[in-house]
Structure 1
Amino acid sequence: MLVEALVGKRYSREIHHAIADAIRDGELQSGQALPSVRALAADLGVSPGTVSLAYRTLRERGLITSGDRKRARVAAKPAVPAIGDMPVRPGIRDLRTVAPDTEMLPDVRRFLGAGSARSGEYAMQNVTAELGAVMRGLFGGDGIDGHLTVTNGAHDAVERIALALVAPGSTVAVEDPGWIAGYGLLRTAGYALAGVDVDARGLIPASLSAVMKQHHCAMLLLQPRAQNPTGAALDAPRAEELREILQEYPNCVVVEDDHVSLVSGSPAHSLTHGRRSWAVIRSMSKILGPDLRLAVMSSDRTTADLVQGRQALGPGWVSHLVQRSVAAMLADAACSARIADAADAYRTRREAFAGELAIRGIDVIGSSGFTLTVPVGDESTVCAELMARGWAVRAGELSRLSSPPFVRVCTADLSAADARALAADLSDIANSLTRGRVL
């Protein structure tokens, strides 16, 4: 049936689009095997290289998967992940969602009235004077000097930047493993993804160099600290090495999703210095509360103008009442102290869990933010066994392009006692699987 639909297709792009349409329309189901490269090439009368290129593009879009010496199959994971997690039964400790500890958030009720007397007019400027003053100081303290744009969160900013600056069908370099929502957002916009390997210090230079040389990526999307899912963070020498590589690709748009910023527990090291097209996005969700739905972006002038232009055709602006409330919170001494306390608490909890794992011979690389990845051999088995023991963690499948399997744990509100118990359970499960004992 598939071969019939592909009759007459001579180019890799035509083959790729035909298979993608069949997956979208449900003619090819999740897990269904595709013909081998050589078999399909013979049936269509094209070179194996043509089919191989089509399959590679489908893999980069997350539509098919393939392993060593295995047939390509329709991917089980959708381009757009399902919104929200499945509920768990009472008594399960849910560590799947990357969210702040609500007990560590400032009391937003004290600030919601800031500027409300002026909220009755249609807004003209994108950024209020109050928020602009505060955020210029915060960005400037990290050596980031650009034009400010306010968006409805980091996801909104990334999407608007990509659609404004990156041509459909282009390849975007992303961290592997990386941000699930970022993968889904870019794939549904029609971009191919090229994964760059990550270690404890962020993007690995040799991997970035190879990916850029092969794909000449139109955009690089990264999380410079508190990297989700690994908890990796750039340091100064690594950032400098990566900037030198990127100098060879001046047209690549470098976008940093600095999503945890003030509570990350790590200093800021940006790759955007001296770039032609760039943006650093700082969300307020992990700092002040997810429901504020506000992020501030510092970027070059052209990027700011294009993003604000697209925004003007849609929502127009982000609520000035919310902007003034956020500005008041960030400028308040007591609120700033609360943010600093939160950063210390998150660091302590993350390090406690990493330490408990290390005692048991399990190494993790994270040194920043809310999440750590624990390497495992079989994600689904480990997740199921942890659930049976009272823990809900995230399987790494949706966060990976070609990196090894893992489970992700959010440590934001993980107590020392829970860290010890969870590490013991992970070690016990890993040892049982290594011995081949049925759990």
Structure 2
Amino acid sequence: MLQLIAGAVDDRTARGIAAAVSRLVHTGELPAGTRLPTVRSVAQALGISPTTVSEAWRSLASAGAIQTRGRSGTFVLTPTRPRQKMRFSRLVANPSTLPHDFSTGVPDHDLLPDLAPALRRIGDTRLTTSYLEDPVLPRLEVVLRERWPYPPQQVTVVDGALDALDRLVGASVRFGAHVVVENPTFPPLLDLLESVGAVPVPVSMDAAGVEPSALAAALEQSPTAVFLQPRAHNPTGVSTTPQRAADLAALLAGHESVIVVEDDHIGDIATAPAVSLGAHLPDRVVHVRSFSKSHGPDLRLAAVGGPAALVTAIADRRLLGPGWSSRVLQAVLLDLLTDPATVRAVAAARREYARRRDLLLAALAAHGVEATAADGINMWIAVRDQQVALVTLAAHGIGAAPGAPFEVRPLGGDHIRVTVGLVRDSFEDLAAILAEAAGARHRASGHRARPCTAPPADPPRPLTAPPADRPAPGRLR
């Protein structure tokens, strides 16, 4: 056992030792239940300090890969995380007690297209003749390729955007790897990275997307991958501009081992155009397009397109599990994407979501509340104290998501996320309650909010901390 571990270590830092042991666990050479050698014996075998080995053991224990049981020793575990410790589980309020739950991040059901006509049109069409058929309906693949922001080498369909992210993390990220993520970012992505023992490297954003200087600094840490949300970033609503995509791609061009994963979770209800770094780095960008927000969460479908090596690996691995995503649902999606009435319905939903964002942003601005919601269905609101804000909203029967689970590192002030896409009316009343929760004082009613459907003409301001001329979140200017 000691020789096995010592022989697997080629980097004698704590990170290198932890990564080597993790590889042995993943390959089955160190199966669950195996008792590991003592820290001192490993240190002697490697010719290093026991402190370095102890640090590696702590990293593995933090990731749930091993467990120390006092004098009994240290053992390999099957990694598990209690649900209550996941960031994702801390987002949603309890809908049974709060009549107005704006914490969920889901689309308005009444703005989704009707699936019944599509189901009637496909009828009892025979869609599967062999378990070894291609995972994507041929006609659907044609339509997807026509809609893709760059020519992908390979396209497949999986069971939603999170399924895609899960499979991409599993295929490309290993224990101890550094992974660049936006700050703030989608909490389930952080849960996925933590589940494999990866180290998230946060990068700041402004109104045009990830800041190039922040990405340049993050690339110095030799990351394995960069995860981005190119449109309607969750939670801020920011969309990457074409110029910013080109700037980021230029920085990544010199780092050939780094892959980019783009989660276009909002899809066709985004007001911003589809932008991708794949237009500049097609061999290294995997783009995920979800249809849950635009066409229906119950379709459970997302398309994945990009380099053949990665996309084919995902499709091949699925053959040992679900095999493929339901061809019946794929046929429904194909119908929805090509039916003129449905296309008009989705366009109407896109306009309605934009109307709701603008109305609530304007009402909040009149109360002196700082908020961003440039696109999509979510709004990121600065508050004086997150917990006080959530309790205040709950007292009014309103649920919102806390900001902390979205943050890799503190942003310099508290926030909450409100699913503005679910707000249908009473914008002024809701704004007054949100202002109370945020700790803001009323501002003169003549103030008008700046339009938030596109980046401002002035140089973008960072989203990670207040600029020098701006007071603390929630306070009067």
- 1:38-437 paired onto structure 2 within 5 Å: 46=51, 78-79=85-86, 81-82=88-89, 85-89=92-96, 92-113=99-120, 114=122, 116-119=124-127, 121-123=129-131, 124-139=133-148, 142-214=149-221, 216-273=222-279, 274-404=281-411, 405-417=414-426, 419-431=427-439
Counterpart amino acid of 1:104?
A: L
Give the residue type in structure 1 aligned to 2:237.
Answer: G
Query: Judging changes above 3 Å, is the alpha-carbon distance between structure 1 residues 91 and 308 closer, same or farther for their aligned structure 2 residues?
Result: closer
CA apart distance, 1:11: 5.8
The question of whether the paired residues in 2 share the 8 Å contact of 1:227 and 1:233 is answered with yes
Q: 1:27 maps to which residue? A: none
| CA–CA distance in structure 2, aligned partners of residues 56 and 428 of structure 1 | 42
State the distance in 2 between where 1:406 and 1:84 align: 13
- Please report how far the alpha carbon of residue 13 of structure 1 lies from its aligned counterpart in structure 2 after TM superposition: 4.2
SS at match of 1:297: strand
Shift of 1:79: 4.1
Q: 2:115 and 2:16 mapped to 1: Cα distance?
A: 53
SS at match of 2:416: strand
Could you tell me whether the CA contact under 8 Å between 1:372 and 1:409 is conserved in 2? Answer: yes
* % identical aligned pairs: 29
In structure 2, distance between residues paired with 1:229 and 1:57: 31
Distance in 2 (alpha carbons) for counterparts of 1:83 and 1:432:
25
Residues of 2 paired with 1:224 and 1:284: CA distance?
15
SS at match of 1:111: helix
**Cα offset, 1:423, TM superposition:** 1.8
Amino acid at match of 1:106: P
Q: Over the residues paired in the alignment, what is the CA RMSD in angstroms?
A: 3.1
The unaligned stretches of length 5 or more in structure 1 are 1-9, 21-43, 62-74
Instruction: Quote the offset at 1:119 in angstroms.
Output: 3.9
Question: What is the rounded CA distance, in whole Å, between the counterparts of 1:279 and 1:211 in structure 2?
Answer: 20
Matched residue pairs, number? Answer: 382
Counterpart residue number, 1:64:
none
Query: TM-score by structure 1 length?
Result: 0.79
The alpha-carbon deviation at position 328 of structure 1 amounts to 0.8
> How much does 1:55 deviate?
8.6
Q: Measure how far apart 1:85 and its partner are.
A: 3.5
Give the counterpart letter for 1:244 in structure 2: A
Rate the CA distance shift 1:120–1:243 in 2: closer, same or farther, 3 A. Answer: closer
Name the aligned partner's letter for residue 168 of structure 2: I
Deviations for 1:293-325, whole angstroms, at most 9, x for unmatched residues? 111111111122111111112111111111111
Q: 1:205 to 1:288 in 2, by over 3 A?
A: same
Note the C-alpha offset of 1:154: 0.9
Structure 2: tracts of 5 or more residues without a match: 1-11, 23-48, 65-81, 442-471
Specify the SS of the correspondent of 2:277: coil
Rg larger in 1 or in 2? 2
**In the aligned structure 1, how far is the partner of 2:211 from the partner of 2:273?**
19
Deviation string, structure 1 residues 262-286 (Cα, Å, up to 9, x no partner): 1011111111232432211111111
**What letter is aligned with 2:141?**
G
Provide closer, same or farther for how the CA distance between residues 431 and 184 of structure 1 changes in structure 2, counting only shifts above 3 A. closer
Which letter does structure 2 place at the counterpart of 1:280? H
Amino acid at match of 2:436: D
